Amino acid sequence: MKLLPALLLGTALIGVSGFAYGLGHEDRPNIVIIYSDDQGYGDFSLQNPDSKIPTPHLDELARQGARFTDAHSSSGMCTPSRYALLTGRYHWRQGEGIVGSWGGPWWDEGRLTLGQMLQEKGYRTACIGKWHLGWDWSAIRNEQVADRNSPEAWDWSKPVPGGPLDHGFAENTLVIFSSDNGPENIAYERIRNHGHYSMGPLRGLKRDVREGGRRVPFAIRWPGVIESGTVSESLIGQIDIMATIASIVGYKLPDTAAEDSYDLLPYLLGEAETPGRDTLVHRTWGEPWGIRHRDWVYINASTGALQNEPDWLGHEATPHDAVLNRLDDDLGQQQNLVEARPNKAAELEAMLEEIRARGYSAPRLMND
């Protein structure tokens, strides 16, 4: 039996091979996810005319398929965003923060992942590059050596469990490209020294609970299926990849998996006018939680920043204990409307608390 390849890329590429939407086994696409690290919205030259960093190959990939200008990672940090992409579940339902050098796996036992799902459909899977979701280091630990940074502290002749192998290019290849979060704070110096805005027109960087911290490049190419040259302003999240690929490969997701994932396939095929998503929860760590609902953003703290903005940017601190922005008039999130629109702020705060408490938000679970 022929197995199709599937790849997952951390900062590299993840390849998965498997099943395809309504197709026989021989016609099922290869699946490749290219996941860059700290690449901001403005670091994708096709959507930033003033970019000082050319990305001609990514630009061409996007031209050959669909580009989403309002696509979001789950977190403003590496580990949580990777977890969300591979599970279709908001990372904060599992945890926050990142896995350290000797951190253990970031998974609940039995949690279905994208790789496992595709393996069940006959795909061979691989992860190449940055994993950052932990390993079971205790399996190779030599407890007689106290210093775990010593080479003798580990038995490298044994496999290290808990990594990507445990969790699962041609015309007929589906390629998805995105980034794990917004740009690192060196982006501020890029502005001063080179006039390059890694966050594009957005406010915030990696970690921040603002658009610049999690609105990221996103392109998807599938020749003969997705119309080339498509540009969509619709709201989507990387958590939607799980349900979308499940639909492509004909996998029925259990209720205990991909609890926050929307199936984008009808939209990609031109069978639906919108992807169906109106709302995303924004979260990294600490005090601020945010919610994006259509063109509105509500943050339940006085700021969505988790790192200091330089004074020369000229942003004024808000005197309020919450932030409300309307992006269609204020994409850079400069105007706090929480005092002018208190009912809207209360509505979004209630929506945020409901999603947090409910434990799921995927349409297939909401309709059951």
Q: How confident is the model over 29-74, as pLDDT tens digits? A: 889 999 999 999 999 999 999 999 999 999 999 999 999 999 999 9
AA identity, residue 351: M
DSSP helix/strand/coil, 5: strand
CA dist 366 and 288 (Å) reads 26
CA dist 269 and 285 (Å) reads 36
Query: How many CA atoms does the CB half-sphere of 10 hold within 13 Å?
Result: 16
pLDDT of residue 20: 39
Residue range(s) of every CATH 3.40.720.10 domain in the chain: 5-277
CATH level 3 topology of 5-277: Alkaline Phosphatase, subunit A (3.40.720)
pLDDT of residue 4: 52
Tokens of 37: 């690290």
131 band by pLDDT with thresholds 50, 70 and 90 = confident
CB 122 within 8 Å of CB 4: yes
Q: Is the pLDDT of residue 76 over 70?
A: yes
pLDDT of residue 18: 40
The arithmetic mean of pLDDT across residues 278-293, rounded, is 95
CB-count exposure of residue 257 (10 Å: 0-12, 13-18, 19+): buried
Q: In terms of pLDDT, which residue wins out, 288 or 368?
A: 288
Q: In terms of pLDDT, which residue wins out, 301 or 135?
A: 301
CA dist 90 and 73 (Å) reads 10
CB 241 within 8 Å of CB 88: yes
1 band by pLDDT with thresholds 50, 70 and 90 = very low
CB-count exposure of residue 51 (10 Å: 0-12, 13-18, 19+): middle
DSSP helix/strand/coil, 314: coil
The strand pairing partners of 71, in sequence order, are: 216, 236
Residue range(s) of every CATH 3.30.1120.10 domain in the chain: 281-366
DSSP helix/strand/coil, 163: coil
CB 40 within 8 Å of CB 52: no
78 band by pLDDT with thresholds 50, 70 and 90 = confident
What is the CATH architecture of 281-366?
2-Layer Sandwich (3.30)
pLDDT of residue 273: 95
CB 359 within 8 Å of CB 259: yes
